[in-house]
Amino acid sequence: MVLGMSLATFTLVHVIISLIGVAVGLIVMFGLLGSNPMPALTAIFLLFTILTNATGFLFPFTHLLPSHMIAILSLVLLAIACIALYAMQLAGAWRAIYVVTAMISLYLNIFVLIIQSFLKIPSLQALAPAVPPNPPSGPVFAVVQGIVLVFFVLVIIGAWRRFRPMAFA
């Protein structure tokens, strides 16, 4: 039981929270590229990405896992993104700090989503088998993760250059 839910129910809630964070994060990402701040969607993205990382620590575990290290890094980046956005109002260098930290957090969430997809979806398991406790490996997995990484590097550079909101209200 986790938070009064069976482990299966809690896992489903965690996955739904994560997928909402990813979906809204992608919309926010394209908003950054169009210099559209989208305050409500940004708040939802940040909240659900924080919840995704936080709920990951509620699963039973006996030692710190790589997923926990990614979650810790993401939570630190999200804290900085929230400070840049809400406390510093994207003034000066805080605009770029927000873009980079928010988008790296989205990338990390998608990075984990890809790993989980290769672990849980049978057709993907066949393409990149994993030997627990190791993550999936092999050329297909590496190519997918590499394409996503290059995509995010380009998006972050593009958003850094293009995101210049008049005001974030």
What is the per-residue pLDDT across 76-104, written as a single tens digit (0 to 9) for each?
Answer: 999 999 999 999 999 999 999 999 999 99
The alpha helices in 34-138, defined as continuous H runs, are 39-56, 66-82, 94-120, 122-127
What dihedral angle (degrees, nearest 10) is formed by the CA atoms of 120, 65, 128, 110? Answer: 70
Print pLDDT tens along the chain (169 aa): 888 899 999 999 999 999 999 999 999 999 999 999 999 999 999 999 999 999 999 999 898 988 899 999 999 999 999 999 999 999 999 999 999 999 999 999 999 999 999 988 989 888 887 776 677 888 899 999 999 999 999 999 999 999 998 755 5
Distance CA 88, CA 86 (A): 6
Angle between helices 7-33 and 94-120 (to 10 degrees): 140
pLDDT at 133 (0 to 100): 65
